[in-house]
Amino acid sequence: MLNIPNNTQIQLSKQEYQNYSKQIVLENIGIQGQKKLKAAKVLIVGAGGLGCPAIIYLATSGVGYIGLIDGDIIEVSNLNRQILYNKNDITNFKVISAQQKVQKINYNCTIIKHPYNLDKQNSIEIISYYDIIIDTTDNFKARYTIDQICNQLHKVYIYGAVEKFEGQVATFNYKNGISYKDLYTKNLLLKNSNCNRHGIMGITTGYTGILQAIETIKVILGLHKRCKNFLMIHNIIQTKNKRKKIYLKRNENHKIKILRSSNIIITSKLKIIKSNVIIIDIRKNFEFSKNHIKKSINIPITKLKLNETIKLIQYYIKNHDLVIYCNTLERSMIASHFLNNRNISHHILHPI
């Protein structure tokens, strides 16, 4: 439950009625919805590519209190996607520049700046003040900390992540729904995304950050359709299968099982391994040589998208089910995109 005061305690000024007039007339918002937005307290963890569009649209929508926590300073390489900043902001703390810019956009929105990184020592004190936590970080350590404290304090956790042209969004810990650790357990050995290594476009972060802002507003307003118990995956340059939803359900052991996602099924080894399947292990050769599923074939992901590889797969799966295996879900999803683009039906085998 969100700790939002009764609407009778919240008043809108004449200026606020004018500012939000176009959205107050919407059936799903109205005056009472606008008051809910004004009363809400939202923490954005990270003032980068995802955080910038999220804070802009939440502030202009009338969210009353927005906390911004980030210990980084602005660098030249940030400017292609962190749209609040310009060259005059370089070497400034992100949260300080972001606060100055957003207060000019909407002075009715209170911006609470935390010019340091979220960690295990300060997370409980900070997160306890807010109703909803938006994760716009780029490292798994921070995500597990956010997930743990949000579960402990019963806070809603809006997750977002990007890599290259792809993004993911999910709502965790909402009304006994799934949590981040249910989807990405710590034993997966996930590696942090690095924009310097993989590259990123500002459009990717912008689109994903806006989706996070949308999900946040849905939770505040209590709208029926929320990004609960599914992972939304999108690719900004694909015209086909641009957006997918992977539906999730927590089982009795507090682990989750993928129920449905277009032609993708993620399940356990015991259910998927049978005689009429071809299992392709997409890990690197040295990973495959250390440990692999019996009778599986090793085709590293770098070779999976080659035309000759695709033709070989299409030939051999005529009377078989194709199964993709990797020890990380992120690599499996990338491989899945390659196969979807070639209309190759497949399953993803992933340890849960």
> Measured between alpha carbons, how far is 209 from 41 in angstroms, rounded to an integer?
18
Q: Does 285 score more than 80 pLDDT?
A: yes
Tell me the average pLDDT across 119-137.
95
What does the pLDDT read at residue 180? 86
User: Start-end ranges of CATH 3.40.250.10 in the chain?
Assistant: 263-349
What does the pLDDT read at residue 88? 96
What does the pLDDT read at residue 260? 41
What does the pLDDT read at residue 117? 95
Q: List alpha helices for the chain, DSSP H.
A: 14-19, 21-24, 30-39, 51-61, 94-105, 123-127, 140-153, 180-183, 195-198, 202-221, 269-272, 285-290, 301-304, 307-316, 329-341
- Residue range 7-250 in CATH 3.40.50.720: yes
- DSSP letter for 9, please: G
User: Start-end ranges of CATH 3.40.50.720 in the chain?
Assistant: 7-250
pLDDT in tens, 233-260: 888 887 555 566 666 655 445 444 444 4
pLDDT in tens, 267-281: 444 344 455 788 899
Q: Which two three-digit tokens encode residue 202?
A: 């500002």
pLDDT in tens, 132-143: 999 999 888 899
Among 55-64, 199-208, 229-238, the range scoring the smallest mean pLDDT is 229-238
Tell me the average pLDDT across 32-53.
96
Q: Does 327 score more than 80 pLDDT?
A: no
Give the strand order in the sheet containing 321-325. Answer: 266-267, 347-349, 321-325, 277-281, 297-298
What does the pLDDT read at residue 241? 52
What is the CATH superfamily name and number for domain 263-349? Rhodanese-like domain (3.40.250.10)
CB 139 within 8 A of CB 147: no
Q: Is 58 helix (H, G, I), strand (E, B) or coil?
A: helix
More confident residue, 337 or 351: 337
Q: CB neighbours (10 Å) of residue 236? A: 17
Closest CA to 219 of 160, 157, 167: 157
> Measured between alpha carbons, how far is 17 from 115 in angstroms, rounded to an integer?
32
Kind and range of the H or E run holding 298 = strand 297-298
Concatenating the DSSP letter of every residue in 232-261 gives EEEETT-SSS-EEEEEEEE-TTS-EEEEEB
Among 156-160, 186-190, 348-352, the range scoring the smallest mean pLDDT is 186-190
Chain position carrying tokens 């009377």: 319
Q: Which two three-digit tokens encode residue 300?
A: 């590293």
Phi, psi of 155 (to 5 degrees): -105, 145
321 pLDDT tier (thresholds 50, 70, 90): confident
> Measured between alpha carbons, how far is 41 from 319 in angstroms, rounded to an integer?
55
- DSSP letter for 272, please: H
Tell me the average pLDDT across 12-34.
94
Chain position carrying tokens 């590259």: 199
CB 49 within 8 A of CB 205: yes
74 pLDDT tier (thresholds 50, 70, 90): very high
pLDDT in tens, 207-217: 999 999 999 99
Q: CB neighbours (10 Å) of residue 234? A: 20
Contacts of 334 (CB under 8 A, 6+ apart): 166, 301
What does the pLDDT read at residue 5? 54
What does the pLDDT read at residue 248? 62
Share of the chain above pLDDT 70, in %: 80
CB-count burial class (<10 Å; 0-12, 13-18, 19+) for 191: exposed
192 pLDDT tier (thresholds 50, 70, 90): low
Q: Does 331 score more than 90 pLDDT?
A: no
